[in-house]
Amino acid sequence: MSGSVKHYIAWRCAQELQSGVVNLGIGIPTLVADYLPKGLVTLHSENGILGVGPEPDPNEFVVDPESIELVNASGVQPITALPHASYFDSSLSFTIMRGGHLDATVIGALQVSETGDLASWAVPGKDVLGVGGAMDLVIGAKRVIAAMSHLSPKGEPKILPECTYPLTAKNRVDTIVTEYAVFKFREGRMYLVEMVDEISLEQLKEMTPASYEVAEDLKVVKRESIGDPVLV
């Protein structure tokens, strides 16, 4: 997937987020931060901060593992804090997540099923030695936005009748954003609500084995070239 496609997906996710508190997962979701309305959306990071600011200038900031105290959920990437930020321990951080207090999370996905199941952490047949905070994020956030390429790197569909990869959580996805389309779950049914004009409904269906309905108000949009945003 090209950088510009990733940025398009991130930008499109950001359009879903106009206020509130959001946790962004790793991968494409990290890019979403650049497109959020300034000051209206506050970012939470599970390692213990509400009010994540931009990364410090790498030319001015040297990471010393012995003394660094402010990083994002990677555990190693330095960040800054916004003026309204607060810090807390892991228990309170996961109270925010599991307890239903996040307005949304944007999370990368390996597969999503037509019932909103999410697979994002493991691949069958491989050792499963890490899960992190993904399951808590997805179980608790008021909205779960899956940000993903429409097809796998091998060209296989990822939006399926049922996930074949190990689940992160059942029935929790609220919105799927890919480079071709946006799907939303309403009362347990999956709807196509937006697609780009460069493909047909039939082509989309072919790439999307999950059963879904086409929303009455389906929007057909031009995929804009986003490119790297200019950081202010």
Partner 1 sequence: MSATLDQIQTGVQFLSADEAVKKIPKAASIMVGGFGFPGMPRHLSRALVEQTDIDELTLIMNSLGSVSTLNALFEQNRIKKVIGSFFSTNKDLVKAYREGKVEIELLPQGTLTEAIRLGGAGIPAFFTPTAAGTDLAKGKETRVINGREHVLEHSLTADVAIIRAHKADKAGNLVYRKTAQNFNPAMATAAKLTIVEVDEIVEIGELNPDEIMTPFIFVDIVVKREEV
Q: Is 205 in the site for partner 1 (CB under 8 A)?
A: no
The site map against partner 1 for 128-147 (x = CB under 8 A) is: xxxxxxxxx--xx-------
User: Which is it for strands 189-196 and 181-186: parallel, antiparallel or unpaired?
Assistant: antiparallel
Q: Which of residues 74-103 bind partner 1 (CB under 8 A)?
A: 74-76, 80-102
Assess whether 213 carries a catalytic annotation: no
Sign of the CA dihedral running 171, 175, 178, 183? positive
Q: Is 170 in the site for partner 1 (CB under 8 A)?
A: yes
Q: Is 15 in the site for partner 1 (CB under 8 A)?
A: no
Question: How near is the Cβ of 131 to partner 1 at its closest, in Å?
Answer: 6
Buried b or exposed e, range 159-182, using 16+ CB within 10 angstroms:
bbeebebbbbbeebbbbbbbbbbb
The site map against partner 1 for 59-78 (x = CB under 8 A) is: ----x-xx-xxxx-xxxx--
The residues that bridge with 148 in the sheet, in sequence order, are none
For partner 1, the closer of residues 21 and 192 by Cβ is 21
For partner 1, the closer of residues 15 and 199 by Cβ is 15
Q: Is 108 in the site for partner 1 (CB under 8 A)?
A: no
Question: How near is the Cβ of 198 to partner 1 at its closest, in Å?
Answer: 30
Question: How near is the Cβ of 159 to partner 1 at its closest, in Å?
Answer: 19
User: Which is it for strands 20-24 and 41-45: parallel, antiparallel or unpaired?
Assistant: parallel
Inter-residue contact 133 to 97 (CB < 8 Å): yes
Q: Which of 31, 43, 182, 190 binds partner 1 (CB under 8 A)?
A: 43
Query: From residue 153, how far is each of 97, 103, 110, 207, 217 by CA, in Å?
Result: 31, 31, 11, 13, 31
Q: What value, to the nearest 5°, has the Cα angle with vertex 98 and ends 37 and 34? A: 20
* Catalytic residue of the set 46, 114, 179, 194: 46
| Catalytic sites, residue numbers | 46
